Amino acid sequence: SAVISQKPSRDICQRGTSLTIQCQVDSQVTMMFWYRQQPGQSLTLIATANQGSEATYESGFVIDKFPISRPNLTFSTLTVSNMSPEDSSIYLCSVECYGRQAYNEQFFGPGTRLTVL
Amino acid sequence: KQEVTQIPAALSVPEGENLVLNCSFTDSAIYNLQWFRQDPGKGLTSLLLIQSSQREQTSGRLNASLDKSSGRSTLYIAASQPGDSATYLCAVLNSGGSNYKLTFGKGTLLTVNP
């Protein structure tokens, strides 16, 4: 399994600014994912971030708004750029690795709660 | 496009009751199905994972079943406790190239009353 930490745990930001969220994993993993959970909604995948390649974005998400870095097998960042109140959400990092149940089990970080004023 | 539906959206039960949460999905081309628990304002905790070739998985008071051909899964919680109160999310891992990702349902909000 994997233990994932995220920084910051929460933040309140002004519109028009940017925030970078960090995700750290306690083991080397190939596949990392970034999700958004808007208030009262379920999780939506923003992008898949594999080390050594460009992130792959889902429909409705673009690199200019959500740039992602993946410098090594244990770390990734997601930046939310030029924020507006509609970006207020919980942002979650997840990884796929060998868990107690399967080789492709996904584990999630505690999330970053972002409020944009 | 995969769609995952969870019924009911909310459920309130007295402590000690057995209960069933339902999940359905539209595309049976999946690798696995995972059930997660989410406490308010928190991340997700993986509860059970069923591979597409399996029928069920058990962990303690939890039992999850999968009927891939009909696109359905159930999460059975025995002898519910107030500590089980949380949102339960069902997610399927889609197979096939660029479609390899988890698709989530909207969740079932469970309240277990003491």
pLDDT digits (tens, 9 = 90+) for B9-30: 999 999 999 999 999 999 998 9
Q: Is the dihedral of CA B55, B57, B63, B64 positive or negative?
A: negative
Locate tokens 């992008």: which residue?
A: A47
Query: Across-strand partners of A21?
Result: A78
Write down the pLDDT at residue A81: 97
The residue type of A98 is Y
pLDDT tens by residue, A48-65: 998 877 899 999 999 999
Can you tell me the mean pLDDT for B44-60? 93
Other residues' Cβ atoms within 10 Å of the Cβ of residue A57: 18
* Helices and strands of chain A, counted as H and E runs: 0, 11
Residues of chain A numbered 68-97 and touching chain B (CB < 8 Å)? 90, 92, 94
What amino acid occupies position A93? C
> Is A53 within 8 Å of chain B by CB?
no
CB of B66 less than 8 A from some CB of A: no
- Report the Cα–Cα distance between both ends of chain B, in Å, rounded: 41
Task: Specify whether the CB–CB gap between A109 and A43 falls below 8 A.
Answer: no
Determine whether the interchain pair B32/A41 forms a contact, defined as Cβ–Cβ distance below 8 Å: no
Cα of first residue to Cα of last residue in chain A, in angstroms, is: 37
A-B contacts (CB, under 8 Å): 59
A contact test, residue of B49, B89, B94, B95 with most A CBs within 10 A: B49
A61 touching chain B per CB within 8 A: no
The confidence band for A8, taking pLDDT boundaries of 50, 70 and 90, is very high
CB-hemisphere CA count at 13 Å for B14? Answer: 0
- Do residues A4 and A107 lie in contact, with contact meaning Cβ atoms separated by under 8 Å? yes
Q: Do B98 and A43 touch (CB under 8 A)?
A: no
* CB spacing of A104 vs B93 below 8 angstroms: yes
Q: How far apart are CA A117 and CA B9, in angstroms?
A: 30
SS3 A86: helix
